[in-house]
Amino acid sequence: MAYFDNAATTYPKPDEVYSFMDSFYRNYGGSAGRGDYALANNARAIIDETRLLLQELLHCPAKQVIFTPTATIALNMIIQGVISGGAKSIYISPFEHNAVTRALHHFEQIGQITITELAVSKSLEYDLTRIRYQFDANHPDFVIVSHASNVIGLVAPVEDIFALAKEHGAITLVDMAQSAGLVDLDAGIETIDYAVFAGHKTLFGPTGISGYLMKPTAKLPPILFGGTGYDSANQDMPDSLPEKYEMGTLNIAGVAGLNAALKWIKRQTVERLYQEEEEKRKRLLNLLSDYSFLTVVGNEEGCKYVGIVSCVIDGISSDSAGSIFAERNISVRTGLQCAPKAHRFLGTYPAGTIRFSVNCMTTDADFEALRCALEDIEANMW
């Protein structure tokens, strides 16, 4: 199987991730924060070290790391918390995932918020002049931007957008599900209030461990409640961090896998991983350009991308195309990729696209298998 679905979850993982997760359950299997014995303390030490590794990787030593099972839960915790705190005027990019848009849709339907899309040109440039005008005309309370689109891989200038948002005192949230550990963003800058990461994507960790970064001074009401192993007599959630937002037993094996992945990224360096992914994206584009029945969507000169390429096949729906590739042992993602607003903006709604996503683990054999599959598809189209 040639794997071109890394935007969904990276595969394979570094060998260190597999081996350390196996070692964890054999040697560190206690429940952190639920005892003062060696196994529990060892688990706590892994969690604490993983927080430090994330702070180092994302350049944010002053921000708190909160672990969640998924990035979707992290986004909901922040979005629902900020809106319950009084935010009404919400701005988003045209490329947000349903993890953002469905949460916002709920509050829009009950008349609690208004949603405005940030100005992006047809050449896929964030129009900062128009965005400034938008903010001046309708002051933002909350600005949410996907750092890298999960449909076309476009990287947004979040630093510039958030600088404008902060002129109006807005709360800011960057969704780094497709970029953390790959695109070097200084998440420690003052204009970023929250940053969400997905452990199983560009961080090369396992599924089931994600989270967010936040300023310790942020006034985020909790929306989930439960045991923390701390201050158990109090029926309110503790005010201390991270306990205020980490209820229940953490996926400590997932944290262990993420720990190993972060150490691997540190050795590889973010710069090298992005360079390799950029080169393989160009190789993918060159390969796809050899076949006239394919049309690449959302690839503009001068824009920055991660290793995601979307395309359509003339006369074949994207869902049908998914099975065509699967029959030839090529893993791709088809349809709307949980981002219908992006497809409306790109003009590919409601059919969606065929999405190929590469990274440093994509091999020559993967590319050769894709070439053979494309040759076979072309030969059988007419």
d(CA 179, CA 247): 27
3-class state of residue 75 by DSSP: helix
Whole-prediction pTM value? 0.96
Give the pLDDT of residue 291: 96
d(CA 26, CA 256): 12
d(CA 171, CA 8): 28
Give the pLDDT of residue 320: 85
d(CA 111, CA 123): 33
Q: The dihedral of CA 314, 315, 321, 327: what is its sign?
A: negative
Could you give the angle at which helices 71-84 and 98-109 cross, rounded to 10 degrees?
Answer: 30
Q: Which residues pair with 333 in a beta bridge?
A: 355
Name the maximum alpha-carbon separation found in the chain. Answer: 72
Structure letter (DSSP) for residue 347: T
Contact indicator for 144, 115 with CB cutoff of 8 Å: no
d(CA 346, CA 3): 25
DSSP 147-163: SB-TTT-BBP-HHHHHH
Please work out, in degrees rounded to the nearest 5, the angle formed at the alpha carbon of residue 341 by the alpha carbons of 146 and 75.
40
d(CA 352, CA 317): 8
Give the pLDDT of residue 32: 73
Q: Tokens 């959302």 identify what position?
A: 298
Contact indicator for 157, 138 with CB cutoff of 8 Å: no
What tokens were used for 357? 């996503």
Give the pLDDT of residue 92: 98
Distances (CA, A) of 328 to 1, 167, 290, 352, 371: 8, 52, 18, 21, 11
Give the pLDDT of residue 184: 96
pLDDT (tens place) for every residue of the chain, 382 residues total: 999 999 999 999 999 999 999 988 888 766 776 566 767 778 889 999 999 999 999 999 999 999 999 999 999 999 999 999 999 999 999 999 999 999 999 999 999 999 999 999 999 999 999 999 999 999 999 999 999 999 999 999 999 999 999 999 999 999 999 999 999 999 999 999 999 999 999 999 999 999 999 999 999 999 889 887 767 788 888 898 999 999 888 999 999 999 999 999 999 999 999 999 999 999 999 999 999 999 999 999 999 999 999 999 988 888 888 899 999 999 999 999 999 999 999 999 999 999 999 999 999 999 999 999 999 999 987 6
Give the pLDDT of residue 34: 59
Contact indicator for 246, 156 with CB cutoff of 8 Å: no
Contact indicator for 241, 62 with CB cutoff of 8 Å: no
Length of the chain: 382
Q: Which residue from 244, 234, 259 is spatially nearest to 50, judged by alpha carbons? A: 259
d(CA 315, CA 151): 21
Structural domains for the chain: 2-11+270-377 (3.90.1150.10), 15-268 (3.40.640.10)
